[in-house]
Amino acid sequence: MDNITLDEVYRRGRAMLEYQNIPDAEVDALYLMESVFGTDRTSLILHGDRQADSELCRRFFDCINERISGRPLQYIVGTWNFMGYDFFVGEGVLIPRDDTETTVICALELLKNYDSPKVIDLCSGSGAIAISIKKMMPNANVTALELSPDAIGYLKKNAERNSADITIVCGDVATDHKNYDDNEFDMIVSNPPYIVSNQIDTLQRELSFEPRMALDGGSDGLDFYRVITENWASKIKPGGYLVYENGEDEHEAIAKIMLANGFTDIRYDLDLQMFKRTTYGQAGMRLQAVRALTFL
């Protein structure tokens, strides 16, 4: 493709996305311009009349066609920014989303008075939560636990990319609690799968490219909240925190699960769309102890 300017490339790409009703076509086209040509919005305004390299043009329009097919922009670009840090993403790992920043900010606020807190991120995926906490609280001792070998690969690369000294464990939240001592952690944080199983196929087609195991929360979306809360509650020090990201309108059901497992002072943080996106509470006296006291 010869004798075409950068501005013409961008406009054609944007028009192709708009014609196929791709949401945020202008933004996606700009991201792909920057990814392929290294040209951001300002450069495009100042230097859009420059001739575009023909090979890069072909690569750009291949990316446009991938986006039209439904493949997520983040997978096409190969990296995504979260909390100011760049993370590798691709098939096999959940894409970090802005909603999850609410959970990280909540966790950091709860940890601000700790000198060297011990934190474990369950269902860590790309490592976005664990790595962000470590980067913003360097004295924290952070572990990231993830089951998927594909996701673990991204997690390791992301920790290296961001120079984050975290402990990475390939493990299952349903069984790996046995490998940790009671009262070991100051905080457990998790963004577990929380979409109701029979709703996954009805959502936007981009989700079909993401790993189902990172999305499927069971028949009511709460399977992982039950498993994690019941199995890991004893691993949190009294007064420590359990912090969850959750789906829309799941916060009350999660609070009930947490209350039933001895957590107190349960609260919620809002995301940018004003949904109660983060549910968190403090570990109190263990239920077992409470029950034992009733027989004295």
Question: Do 45 and 111 reside in the same domain of the chain?
Answer: no
Q: Is residue 120 part of a domain?
A: yes
Q: What is the pTM of this model?
A: 0.90
Question: Do 14 and 115 reside in the same domain of the chain?
Answer: no
**pLDDT tens track for 46-74:** 888 999 999 999 999 999 999 999 999 99
Q: Which two tokens stand for residue 67?
A: 């986006």
Question: Do 52 and 117 reside in the same domain of the chain?
Answer: no
Question: Do 64 and 123 reside in the same domain of the chain?
Answer: no
Could you tell me the mean pLDDT of each successive run of 10 residues in the chain, 296 residues long? 87 97 95 94 90 95 96 96 97 94 97 96 98 98 97 98 98 97 98 90 81 87 96 97 95 97 96 94 67 37
- CA angle in degrees (0–180, nearest 5) for 232-254-239: 50
Q: Which two tokens stand for residue 132?
A: 């962000």
Q: Is residue 161 part of a domain?
A: yes
Secondary structure class of 152 (helix, strand, coil):
helix
CATH of the domain at 264: 3.40.50.150
Question: Do 64 and 101 reside in the same domain of the chain?
Answer: no
Provide the number of structural domains found in the chain. 2
Question: Do 183 and 275 reside in the same domain of the chain?
Answer: yes
Largest CA distance in the chain: 88
Secondary structure class of 167 (helix, strand, coil):
strand
The secondary structure of 31-83, three-state, reads HHHHHHHCCCHHHHHHHCCCECCHHHHHHHHHHHHHHHCCCCHHHHHCEEEEC
Residue pair 137/111 in contact by the 8 Å Cβ criterion? yes
Question: Do 102 and 198 reside in the same domain of the chain?
Answer: yes
Q: Which long-range contacts (CB under 8 A, 24 or more apart) does 79-82 make?
A: 82/128, 82/132
**For residue 208, what pLDDT is reported?**
79
Residue pair 132/96 in contact by the 8 Å Cβ criterion? no
By residue range, what is the domain housing residue 63? 6-69
Q: Is residue 216 part of a domain?
A: yes
Q: Which residue has the tokens 């609690």?
A: 177
